[in-house]
Amino acid sequence: MKIICPKSELQKSVSIVMKAVPSKTTMPILECILIDAATNDIKLTANDMELAIETRVQGLVIEKGVLALDAKIFSDIVRKLPDNDVTIETDEKLNATITCEKAKFNIPGKSGEDFSYLPLIEKEGCIRVSQFTLKEIIRQTIFSIAVNENNKLMTGELFQIENNMLRVISLDGHRISIRKIGLQEECEDRKVVVPGKTLNEISKILSGELEDMVDIYLSSNHILFEFDDTKVVSRLIEGEYFKVDQMLSSDYETKVKINKRELLDCIDRATLFVKEGDKKPIIINIQDGQMELQIDSQIGSMKEEIDIEKEGKDIMIGFNPKFLIDALKVIDDEEVSIYLMNAKAPCFIRDDNQQYIYLILPVNFNAVSR
Amino acid sequence: MKIICPKSELQKSVSIVMKAVPSKTTMPILECILIDAATNDIKLTANDMELAIETRVQGLVIEKGVLALDAKIFSDIVRKLPDNDVTIETDEKLNATITCEKAKFNIPGKSGEDFSYLPLIEKEGCIRVSQFTLKEIIRQTIFSIAVNENNKLMTGELFQIENNMLRVISLDGHRISIRKIGLQEECEDRKVVVPGKTLNEISKILSGELEDMVDIYLSSNHILFEFDDTKVVSRLIEGEYFKVDQMLSSDYETKVKINKRELLDCIDRATLFVKEGDKKPIIINIQDGQMELQIDSQIGSMKEEIDIEKEGKDIMIGFNPKFLIDALKVIDDEEVSIYLMNAKAPCFIRDDNQQYIYLILPVNFNAVSR
């Protein structure tokens, strides 16, 4: 094999496929990037058996062939090369020589024999969204997937297509995040659970531009994202996702309108007194025209008031401050509406069109001991 | 005590004195910042008994007093306050209330009784340099102090004043870094060894501006740096520093002129193959008009050539690549001169005026096994 690619192109493509290289594995071939120049196209592939990424590199095939290179070493070399054309060449023993200007690297290669290419997904029923939208919708929901693997379904996000809307849902037992967007083209109703890791990695690759599109295809076990010169295929998480609609309610006893920035800054200050692992709630006391936030801990205490617009009853309720911060951070509105029922029922932060809904369970607190 | 300071001023001053707050200590009072408003000036002080910093804060003293607050909590609170006037007030039990806009924090304070103020240094024989110069000279030498404490003197830097020149020297047994600057004003000859930690911390506080000055005073045990509204006092390291001049030589068999950027980039690429703790040398083969650099390791090999101007003999010599990188990184010249004697003698990177001298010991390598 012998190929020539501009360094910048090669670096971009290597960094894309690196997202599917496992950090630890018992199968050494998975630690490699496959360079496939069997045709006149040059393709890079990496595959950790859950997530597989293939991307095309701009470049010239001088001698056709296939080669697998240790991903870590190959990417380090490419990153440090001068900004010029890079030649990658193998001898009959699959030793690779990487040359750029006067720099010449020799590293051992492997044949691509044992390498797993991307699973084939039939391209039926394309779901098309902009890269911006997909990246945003992931950012706005991914924080409330579960960290531990006790319940596999909670480590993924529900992608639900219904009436030409895409609804993305994540939950971890303490809170639920829901985002909804309209789809431009007619789509069949479907629902699948996509691993959180896949979504994290793909959002790092997406350009985030409104005019760049992503085509999404579903099979019974896989999801395929196609965009630019890249294909990302991920396994789906099997099983029936939680019936979220039963947990949502539009009833409320108290409605609060509040400046998002003020609330976020205030809760952020309160978390000073919350050490990691410590479950100190922030206590919110809602009265006419004013919300008082208070936190008490062994280190010290903090109290602050914020002006609000209130409808309905007064209420005092406690929350894990982190959950409020996570949700408020990904809401772009200047003013948010919070809906509350009582001190033991979840609160809802949602907009009028319900394009976003954040449900957060309250924390018990002993009102007497304050 | 009751004082009012703008948040920005308070934050700036707190972050300065934080540099002298120890991360671990058996004396709880050292974990505090002392707020001294006993006069109409507000001063913050921290002291880890090696390094002490005092700085003046702009602000208003409403009620005179002194208060010690946990440094970590106090600095976290100040950082997160809104950008407005901050009031700090104590009650008779030394509980402190910190108020800014509608935010109100309560934390326990301590009396300043047990607190150690800065040691008094007689201000005789001022050494005046610009903050830029001091910051630069530290950056250009600090990397070659010893990391471990086996030899205490090696963990500091020699500040030597001789013939109205300031010479700063550091060494770790494998290399020596020397920087020399002229002093504007007449100074007495002196030499002291300043702890590396002090220099690291002070260079974080220095503005780095050419027009801002630092006044340096020496006593037998301490060094005092005075600049802006800040005083930094550090203990000196006791003992006789190494006789460095005996190790310097201006004889050479080979002189090389080389583009610094090219050499640095090339060595940087070669270090790809050097894992931490691994002592793979980079082997440099100097011939007429050309320097060949090569590194071989279990992972792979790299070879590169760079155009040079050479005087004297051909030579092949091995170095720890990190030592070359450290020195080259802090040299601003576009072209550097390297002086070599033989494969077992140190090389010197130095300019014509010897404003900088970097001595690096070579590493043995087995030329046959290559």
| A301-313 mean pLDDT | 96
Say yes or no: A254 and A226 in one domain: no
Say yes or no: A131 and A237 in one domain: yes
- First CA to last CA across chain B, in angstroms? 73
How far, in Å, CA of A338 to CA of A67, rounded? 56
Parallel, antiparallel, or unpaired for β A309-312 and A190-195?
A: unpaired
The reported pLDDT for the residue numbered B365 is 78
Q: Which residue in B102, B104, B263, B301 has the most chain A C-beta atoms within 10 A of its own C-beta, making it the best mutation to test that interface?
A: B102
Residue A366: CB atoms within 10 Å: 7
Confidence of residue B368 (pLDDT cuts 50, 70, 90): very low
| B257-273 mean pLDDT | 94
| Averaged pLDDT of chain A | 94
A171 assigned to some structural domain: yes
A332 assigned to some structural domain: yes
Task: For B85-138, write each residue's pLDDT tens digit.
Answer: 999 999 999 999 999 999 999 999 999 888 989 999 999 889 999 999 999 999
The reported pLDDT for the residue numbered B185 is 87
Confidence of residue A356 (pLDDT cuts 50, 70, 90): very high
Domain count, chain B: 3
Closest Cβ opposite residue A302 in set B103, B108, B302:
B103
B contacts of A76 (beta carbons < 8 Å): 272
Task: For A187-240, write each residue's pLDDT tens digit.
Answer: 899 999 999 999 999 999 999 899 999 999 999 999 999 999 999 999 999 999
**Which tokens sit at A197?**
């890791």
- Residue ranges of A 265-284 with Cβ closer than 8 A to chain B: 265-266, 268-269, 272
How far, in Å, CA of A343 to CA of A135, rounded? 35
Does residue A300 sit at the B interface (CB-CB below 8 Å)?
yes
Instruction: Answer whether residue B350 shows pLDDT above 60.
Output: yes
Residue B36: which domain range? 2-108
Instruction: Answer whether residue A280 shows pLDDT above 90.
Output: no
Residue among A94, A175, A118 nearest A142 (CA): A175
Instruction: Answer whether residue A32 shows pLDDT above 50.
Output: yes
Say yes or no: A324 and A234 in one domain: no
A119 assigned to some structural domain: no
Q: Among residues of chain A, what percentage have pLDDT more than 70?
A: 98
Say yes or no: B221 and B203 in one domain: yes
Domain boundary among A76, A108, A140: A108
Say yes or no: A75 and A12 in one domain: yes
Task: For A151-201, write each residue's pLDDT tens digit.
Answer: 999 999 999 999 999 999 999 999 999 999 999 888 899 999 999 999 999
The reported pLDDT for the residue numbered B149 is 87
Say yes or no: A240 and A131 in one domain: yes
- First CA to last CA across chain A, in angstroms? 73
B366 assigned to some structural domain: no
The reported pLDDT for the residue numbered A369 is 44
A contacts of B72 (beta carbons < 8 Å): none
A351 assigned to some structural domain: yes
How far, in Å, CA of B346 to CA of B249, rounded? 10
Q: At CA A109, angle to CA A108 and CA A112, rounded to 5?
A: 165
Q: Is B192 helix (H, G, I), strand (E, B) or coil?
A: strand
Domain boundary among B242, B272, B302: B242
Confidence of residue A366 (pLDDT cuts 50, 70, 90): low
Confidence of residue A308 (pLDDT cuts 50, 70, 90): very high
Chain A residue with the nearest C-alpha to that of B102: A304
Closest Cβ opposite residue A102 in set B77, B103, B304:
B304
Does residue B210 sit at the A interface (CB-CB below 8 Å)?
no
Task: For B181-210, write each residue's pLDDT tens digit.
Answer: 999 888 899 999 999 999 999 999 999 899
Does residue A82 sit at the B interface (CB-CB below 8 Å)?
yes
Say yes or no: A206 and A276 in one domain: no
- ipTM rounded to 2 decimals: 0.86
Instruction: Answer whether residue A253 shows pLDDT above 60.
Output: yes
Q: How many alpha carbons lie under 13 Å from residue B337 in its C-beta half-sphere?
A: 14
Instruction: Answer whether residue A89 shows pLDDT above 70.
Output: yes
Task: Out of A69-73, A317-321, B239-243, B295-299, pick the least confident.
Answer: B295-299
Q: Across the interface, do B300 and A76 touch by the CB < 8 Å criterion?
A: no
Sole residue written with tokens 């071939």: A29
A269 assigned to some structural domain: yes
Q: Which of A111-120, A252-261, B182-191, B272-281 has the highest mean pLDDT?
A: A252-261
Residues found in chain B: 370
Q: Across the interface, do B269 and A103 touch by the CB < 8 Å criterion?
A: yes
Sole residue written with tokens 């946990």: B70
Q: Is A74 helix (H, G, I), strand (E, B) or coil?
A: helix
Confidence of residue A337 (pLDDT cuts 50, 70, 90): very high
Instruction: Answer whether residue A278 shows pLDDT above 80.
Output: no
E strand or H helix that includes residue B137: helix B131-139
A120 assigned to some structural domain: no
Domain harbouring B306, CATH code = 3.10.150.10
The reported pLDDT for the residue numbered A168 is 98
Q: At CA A346, angle to CA A340 and CA A352, rounded to 5?
A: 55
B contacts of A285 (beta carbons < 8 Å): none
Domain boundary among B204, B227, B242: B242
Q: Print burial letters for B83-101: b (CB count within 10 Å at least 16), e (below 16).
A: eebbbbbbeeebebbbbbe
Q: Print burial letters for B343-370: b (CB count within 10 Å at least 16), e (below 16).
A: eebbbbbbeeeeebbbbbebbebeeeee
How far, in Å, CA of B135 to CA of B200, rounded? 9
Chain A residue with the nearest C-alpha to that of B76: A272
Q: Among residues of chain B, what percentage have pLDDT more than 90?
A: 88
Say yes or no: A32 and A134 in one domain: no
B contacts of A83 (beta carbons < 8 Å): none
Q: Across the interface, do A108 and B73 touch by the CB < 8 Å criterion?
A: no
